[in-house]
Amino acid sequence: MNPLAIPPALPPDTFLLLRYLLIAALLLFLPFLGIVIAGSAASLVLNFLGRENRDDRSLRLSREWIEAATVNRWVLLLLGLLPYPAIAYACERILGGRTSLPAIAWLVPYGALLAGCLLLSLYRSAIRRTTELVPALFGAGTVGLLAMLSAAFLSFLLVGTLVDPAKLPLVRSNLVFILSWHSLVEFLLFLAMSFGLAGGIALRFLGRSKAGGAGGGPDYEARVLTAGTSFAMAGALAVPALVVLYLVSLPVTGLSTEVFAMAATVMILALAVFSLLYVLPGMKENRQGDRVTALFVLMFLTVILCSQTAVANAFQGLSAPPGPVAAVESVSKEGKSALKPAAGDAAALEKGKKVYDTVCSICHRFDVKIVGPAYNDVVPKYKGNVEKLKAFIRNPVKVNPSFPAMPKPAIKEDEIDAVARYLLFTVKGGK
């Protein structure tokens, strides 16, 4: 694309719509992705440990957790794969003009996502049949997790490009410039919240089923409690530091008081989680699953809004001006098109045009009225009488009450003559 061209402006409302679309999609996408990642990670680890030291409770927990995390494979595919195209579309449109990312930049994460979903669902169905996994399936799960992680990270990189429009022209020429600290930090923040959320889910849903089976019973519940709590706490405690880092890593143009406010909100939410699970007495015994989950979902919402506000700020005022250049051009063109100079006074007309451009055009145009009236309305009144027009220009008098009196222009006699001729010549019906 031509580096000299000023990026065309998106119509404001389109921009707005796109951002709403983006927010909605992310809101569907991220928490879900988070749950899946954290849940499957937990499940994998538990499964491994369980098999290592023959611990049924771990195995059970691992199974329940992956089930809770990926409600079933359809949901997995649906929520995992549907919102992404929307995100891609929105970003592409917003970027549009500044740069267009190569398709690969969009497809790779999508592929990763797809693969992740499939592998994880494989793992899930396997673990429901038997907790004693064959290594292959366990491996499948692990790879799926990694795929999910990478997908998440890549999409953060892509969405992150929006926050730094100044860098966009580079992105296409060499993709490495997508790399940015704030994407990384945001990703970490996302992970923290995901683990918190997973913990909340665990507290809410796991270990409820009184159905015995291998390793049920109260100590199992205790186990769930500890696991869930520690996840939620870890998430909550990690959040504030990461938020601060996030603020640091945001480009300055992205900042605004709102952004800071939202950041603060996130911290407060985290604090709430902490106090629910630790400070407030007796809260720990009866599980706080639903509350914690809610809080973390709220955090997700706030963070997404926060980053989108940053995007909005970054793009504010960055677009083509409603070309005054173009306007001036058009006028002069109009001038040219109109005047068919007779051999002699071509020079004079040129001079007149110069005077017009430098002096008169501040207040007058031919077609529109700005400060002063449009020439096409007033000049014809002189019926081609140069002297009369010159006299007016020499010392203007207030004619039309609806306009301020014209100040005495600081131009020399010959210039007055030239511009007067030019006007009379140019304006249709001037002569």
Query: Binder to another protein among 10, 115, 188, 363 (CB under 8 A)?
Result: 363
> What are the distances in angstroms from CA 153 to CA 10, 209, 303?
28, 35, 16
- The minimum distance between CB 212 and another protein, in angstroms, equals 31
Amino acid present at 127: I
Q: Where are the alpha helices (DSSP H) in 100-206?
A: 103-129, 135-161, 168-173, 181-205
Where in 303-342 is the site for another protein (CB under 8 A)?
Answer: 316-322, 324-325, 327-328
**Closest by CA position to 396, among listed 387, 386, 406:** 406
**Residue 327 or 347 having the CB closest to another protein:** 327
Count CB atoms within 10 A of the CB of residue 247.
Answer: 18
Tokens 């794969």, residue located? 81
CB-nearer residue toward another protein: 89 or 177: 177
Residue 418 to residue 416: CA distance in whole angstroms: 5
Q: Cβ 417 to another protein, closest distance in Å?
A: 21
Around Cβ 1, how many Cβ atoms within 10 Å?
12
Q: Please report whether residue 217 would count as binding another protein according to CB under 8 A.
A: no
Residue number, 103 or 327, with CB nearest to another protein: 327
CA distance 420 to 409: 13
Q: Do residues 64 and 90 make contact, with C-beta atoms less than 8 angstroms apart?
A: no
Q: Which listed residue (211, 343, 410, 413) binds another protein by CB under 8 A?
A: 410
- What H or E segment, with its residue span, contains residue 239? helix 218-249
Which lies closer to another protein via its Cβ, residue 24 or residue 49?
A: 49
Task: Establish if 179 lies at the interface with another protein (CB under 8 A).
Answer: yes
Alpha-carbon span 292 to 224, nearest angstrom: 15
Given the complex with another protein, which of 113 and 162 has the nearer CB atom?
162
Interatomic CA distance for residues 345 and 351, integer angstroms: 10
- Select 57 or 98, whichever has its Cβ closest to another protein: 98
Q: Which is nearer to another protein, 82 or 318 (CB)?
A: 318
The DSSP letter of residue 408 is -
The answer to whether residue 173 forms part of the interface with another protein (CB under 8 A) is yes
Distance of CA 75 to the CA centre of its chain: 26
Residues 5-34 close enough to bind another protein by CB under 8 A = 6, 9
**Which residues in 53-82 contact another protein (CB under 8 A)?**
none
Among 108, 255, 283, 374, binds another protein (CB under 8 A): 255
Map tokens 């996030």 to a residue: 246
Only segment of 86-94, 166-174, 192-200, 217-225 that touches another protein (CB under 8 A) = 166-174
User: Could you say whether residue 252 binds another protein (CB under 8 A)?
Assistant: yes
* Nearest 10 degrees: Cα torsion 181, 103, 110, 253: 30
Question: Exactly one of 169, 215, 216, 384 binds another protein (CB under 8 A); which one?
Answer: 169
CA proximity to 130, closest of 51, 70, 42, 53: 51
Considering the rule CB under 8 A, would residue 263 count as an interface residue with another protein? yes
Distance between CA atoms of residues 71 and 185, nearest Å? 29
| Phi and psi at residue 377, to the nearest 5° | -85, -40
- Applying CB under 8 A, among 142, 150, 230, 253 the residue interacting with another protein is 253
Which of 134, 214, 279, 338 is the binder for another protein (CB under 8 A)?
A: 279
Q: Which stretch binds another protein (CB under 8 A): 69-77, 266-274, 341-349, 380-388?
A: 266-274
Closer to another protein at the Cβ: 220 or 274? 274
For residues 46 and 123, what is the distance between their CA atoms, to the nearest angstrom?
Answer: 14
The answer to whether residue 370 forms part of the interface with another protein (CB under 8 A) is yes
Quote the least distance from Cβ 64 to another protein, whole Å: 26
Q: Please identify, among the stretches 57-65, 73-81, 155-163, 259-267, the one whose residues bind another protein according to the rule CB under 8 A.
A: 259-267
| 3-class SS of residue 364 | strand
Per CB under 8 A, residues contacting another protein are: 3-4, 6, 9, 166-167, 169-170, 173, 176-177, 179, 237, 240-241, 243-244, 247-248, 251-253, 255, 257, 260, 263-264, 267, 270-271, 274, 278-279, 316-322, 324-325, 327-328, 362-363, 370-371, 404-407, 410
